[in-house]
Amino acid sequence: MAMQIQKGRQAAHVCASLKPVKIIGTSVLVISVLLSFNSQAKNKNENDYDLQPVEELGKRLFFENISDPNRMSCATCHAPNTGGTYNVSGVNLHQVAVTGARPHLRPQDLADGQEKTTVKNAGGLKPPTNQYVSFLHDGEAKGLKKLQLSGQGPCVFFPCGGAFWNGRANGDIVENTNLVFDAGDASWHKKALYSKYLGPLADQAFASPFLNPVEQNHKSKEDVCLQVESTKWGKELYYQSWGVSLSCQSEDESATAFARFAVALAAWQMSEDNNRFNSKRDSAIAEDAKHEDPVEFPLAGFTDLENEGHDLFYGQAGCFICHNSNGANGTHPLERYTDDSYHAIGVPRNYELPGSPLPDIGLHPTLINLGLNPNASLPFPPFNIQNAFIGAHKTPTLRNVDLRPGKGFTKAYAHNGWFKSLESIVHFYNTSDVDGQTAADFGVIRCPAGIVTEKDALANNCWPAPEVPDAPLLTIGGVTGDLGLNAHEEAALVAYLKTLTDTTTVEAPKPYKSSSNASKNGK
């Protein structure tokens, strides 16, 4: 097929080439986000990237089994070899949510002393990726934005910022503890360097998986502090990072250390070590940049199908409307493929999640809990929408969306993991409006009662109803559900998405070697 966008066309022509499509999903204007990294200092403990002490502290906190019992780390749920999501194929295929450190413990059973149950002690949603939460720009590191309402800051029609699928790590939790920087000791001198790490990422760590009984299951911040203190690296890296000794002797001291652990975790997750930008797409753009300025598609390093997929992504399919952070043509070297906003796209309910929880309603309760407006005012009818963000979940990055440890490995997609392949979720975006022309062209219908899994839906050429069928923005915003693509064009989109897979992955830290110039206060 001939390329829709040829060399020499201006970027504006990409948007001009969009054909009208039926609106049935959620839309948003492109939100540009500028994030970055610091230059890195030499550290002999790291294998791929040289990390500052606070970044290495965060990395070791991430990979250490800090749990009760001692079997689960942050990396358990956010595995590097699957792009920061779960790396057990069989779990992704069915239960999706990750089983906690104590598989058969349910918090509601503790009061009766009935700790053993037949229900797996697991989370309620698919683990979101912890990668591409920050990137290089002009030598300064910045993290995710604080959760803000539509029309504020970088947000246009929809709230943006925050972390977790529902945005509940809103960005000011750790900062409001006033525990991180103490004017009475050396930690105060780190404020200018480390303030950039405060925000949703630190809040997500502070929330906290360490203490969650369905995750790492520690009983208190003191328990977490003591386990870190007992490692070969804990005291030394803490002292190198904060200029003060790690102490877990009191509840207050442990609370301070716990807040600083969260900041360190954010620091590493924002580092270049965790955000590689070295996919086939990145290499092809870098090579093209040697010969042409500005870089334009088609790229010589892409196949015809991959180039066609790019043109569809930024053209007829309209994927860039939500999966975009740096412009409208896909040539920015640090594109993250997310607007950091929240949308309802009509994902079916996943009955295979442990305990078959009720449908997750996304951002709405977070807005209520924070005292923010759950309604929306839009520049098209209806002008004011009550409870507008029921069923809206955070747009994930598409970086490493196909990264997997080998062929045949199943990844789960969407917040509840209902989809099991890129091909399936792209087909859903194209045909989920079962009353639309594209669905009719494929023969797709609404699934009858009893067909609830992706496997059965595909076998019967149908889509189940959305898990939140009354989501207000499901039927009035964005480009999804009736895209007018044929099977070949769906395959082209999948081919383009696969070019976003990094060629190297994060490795767990090597055994720690004490620094020869480490202060004795850190030992």
Look at residues 359, 319, 374 and name the one whose alpha carbon lies nearest to residue 167.
Answer: 374
Residue 454 backbone dihedrals phi, psi, to 5 degrees: -60, -45
Domain limits, the chain: 53-274
| pLDDT (0 to 100) of residue 410 | 98
Q: What's residue 241's pLDDT?
A: 98
Number of neighbours of residue 407 by Cβ within 10 angstroms: 5
3-state secondary structure of 219: coil
Q: How many CB atoms lie under 10 A from the CB of residue 11?
A: 16
Query: Which pLDDT value is given to residue 123?
Result: 87
**322 and 341 in contact (C-beta within 8 Å)?**
yes
Residue 148 has a pLDDT of 92
Instruction: Name residues whose C-beta falls within 8 Å of residue 64's C-beta, 6 or more positions apart in sequence.
Output: 73, 227, 228, 231
Which parts of 114-220 fold into alpha helices (H)? Answer: 173-177, 191-194, 200-206
As a dihedral over the C-alpha atoms of residue 228, residue 230, residue 235, residue 238, rounded to 10 degrees, the angle is 0
Sequential pLDDT tens for the chain (523 residues): 333 333 333 333 333 333 333 333 333 322 232 233 333 333 444 454 789 999 999 999 999 999 999 999 999 999 999 999 999 999 999 999 999 998 876 555 555 555 555 567 888 999 999 999 876 455 555 678 899 998 888 887 889 999 999 999 999 999 999 999 999 999 999 999 999 999 999 999 998 899 999 999 999 999 999 999 999 999 999 999 999 999 999 999 999 999 999 999 999 999 999 999 999 999 999 999 998 888 999 999 999 999 999 999 999 999 999 999 887 789 998 899 999 999 999 999 999 999 888 899 999 999 999 999 898 876 655 567 888 899 999 999 999 999 999 999 999 999 999 999 999 999 999 999 999 999 999 999 999 999 999 999 999 999 999 999 888 776 555 568 999 999 999 999 999 999 999 999 999 999 999 875 554 455 5
The architecture in CATH of the region 53-274 reads Orthogonal Bundle (1.10)
Query: Cβ atoms within 10 A of the Cβ of 445, count?
Result: 14
Cα separation, 497 vs 501, in Å, equals 8
The pLDDT of residue 431 is: 97
CA 325 – CA 348 distance, rounded (Å): 27
The first and second tokens of residue 246, run together, are: 């790690």
Pairing of strands 393-394, 384-385: unpaired
Q: Is 9 exposed, middle or buried (0-12, 13-18, 19+ CB in 10 A)?
A: middle
Structure confidence at residue 311 (pLDDT): 97
Question: Per the omega criterion (within 30 degrees of 0), is the bond before 298 cis?
Answer: yes
For residue 90, give every residue at least 6 positions away whose Cβ sits within 8 Å of its Cβ, in sequence order, or none.
410
CA distance 217 to 99: 11
Q: Encoding tokens for residue 377?
A: 């005012």
